[in-house]
Amino acid sequence: MRSEILTSLSFGGRSFSVSDLELIRQVASEFASLGVTEISRTICELLEWKRPNGGLKNIECRRLLERLRDQGLLRLPELLHPGARRPRRIRHHADGDPQPEIRGSAGEFEPLRLEVVRGGRSPDNALWKQYIDRYHYLGYRTPVGATLRYLVRSGQNPEVVLACLLWSSPAWKMAARDEWIGWSAGQRARNLQLIVNNGRFLILPWVRVRGLASKILAHCARRMPGDWEQLYGYRPLLLETLVDAERFRGTCYRAANWIELGVTQGRGRMDRNHEAHQRAPKRIYVYPLCRQVEQRLCEAPAPAFAEPSQQTSQP
């Protein structure tokens, strides 16, 4: 193991000082017999690394520990069950098979119903994962950090799913977005969580309804901030998304009044250390949820903690 440790590090929306990193290495050493999960929780408690609703950022902390381990900066105990951390295979069932084609215009399917997908063994949880895994070009990956998922149905036929969405933590750094906001590195670190990222948006391939995608986005802009506040104790100020320009034109986002800011530098949404492999640049779109959003993102105090809500884990 290397004897030195990083002079500073940014990860999961937080900056870690030299003393923070030394504490992390000390805890990893002294609590090695307790396992990685307990180490992660202990570090979160000592550093008060929490979500605005008071929950520990245990998943992010575990990823940080794994990164430091891979860089030779600390040792972690072996997993008690080798293979348990392998990517989960999503089971495909008949209820996720292609359905008869649905055609029409968006107005014919009003009122749209955005249904929050809870975790655990709920049928909607399994169906959401299966749809994303089978029909979204990026597939299903276990989300990290704060997340909110929806199935979209029509009030005209509530048994039929039209679309799936995932809202999650924002990109750590994007030059075009950060220049548009005009915030400093410190302001970004403090208020980044006031941005929510649309990480998945899937209109099911047999659904061919004119204007549906932009109408769903408009519904989300009205509904999602309240749902997010109920789960995490604070209300977001800005929505963002990244659109693969080689696959999509971003028409639905423009139709829903999202603002195109530019393109990414192709390093990946969560690349903080400029180490990720090059990827195709993506177009950046944002949607303000309030007036003077740039000023508010620069000046707003960090979201205050709230009592933990009665939420269910999503994996």
pLDDT tens column, 246-278: 888 899 999 999 999 999 876 554 444 444 444
| Residue 39: predicted pLDDT | 87
| Residue 310: predicted pLDDT | 37
Longest Cα–Cα distance of the chain, Å, equals 65
pTM over 0.75: no
pLDDT-based confidence at 306, cuts 50/70/90? very low
Token pair in block for residue 156: 């005209």
Q: Which conformational region is residue 285 in: left (phi greater than 0), alpha (psi within -120 to 50 degrees), or beta?
A: beta
| Tens digit of each residue's pLDDT (9 = 90 or more) over 88-104 | 678 888 888 999 999 99
With a cut of 70, say whether residue 128 has pLDDT above it.
Answer: yes
| Residue 84: predicted pLDDT | 44
pLDDT-based confidence at 87, cuts 50/70/90? low
Position with higher pLDDT, 242 vs 18: 242
Position with higher pLDDT, 43 vs 285: 285
Query: Hey, what domains does the chain have and what are their CATH numbers?
Result: 9-70 (no CATH), 94-299 (3.40.630.30)
What number is the average pLDDT over the span 173-177?
92
What value does the mean pLDDT of the chain take?
83
With a cut of 90, say whether residue 142 has pLDDT above it.
Answer: no
| Residue 6: predicted pLDDT | 57
| Tens digit of each residue's pLDDT (9 = 90 or more) over 193-215 | 899 999 999 999 999 999 999 99
State how far the Cα of 96 lies from the Cα of 134, in Å rounded to an integer.
8
**Inter-residue contact 259 to 177 (CB < 8 Å):** no
Amino acid, single-letter form, for residue 121 = R
Peptide bond into 111 cis (omega under 30): yes
What number is the average pLDDT over the span 153-176?
92
Tell me the chain's radius of gyration from C-alpha atoms: 21
| Residue 258: predicted pLDDT | 97
H and E: helices and strands count for the chain: 9, 11
Counting residues of the chain whose pLDDT is more than 90, the rounded percentage is 45
| Residue 311: predicted pLDDT | 39
Give the sign of the dihedral formed by CA 44, CA 48, CA 49, CA 51: positive
| Residue 271: predicted pLDDT | 46
* Cβ within 8 Å of residue 179, ≥6 positions away: none
What number is the average pLDDT over the span 165-180?
92
| Tens digit of each residue's pLDDT (9 = 90 or more) over 42-67 | 888 888 888 776 778 888 888 888 88
With a cut of 80, say whether residue 280 has pLDDT above it.
Answer: no
Token pair in block for residue 248: 């999509």
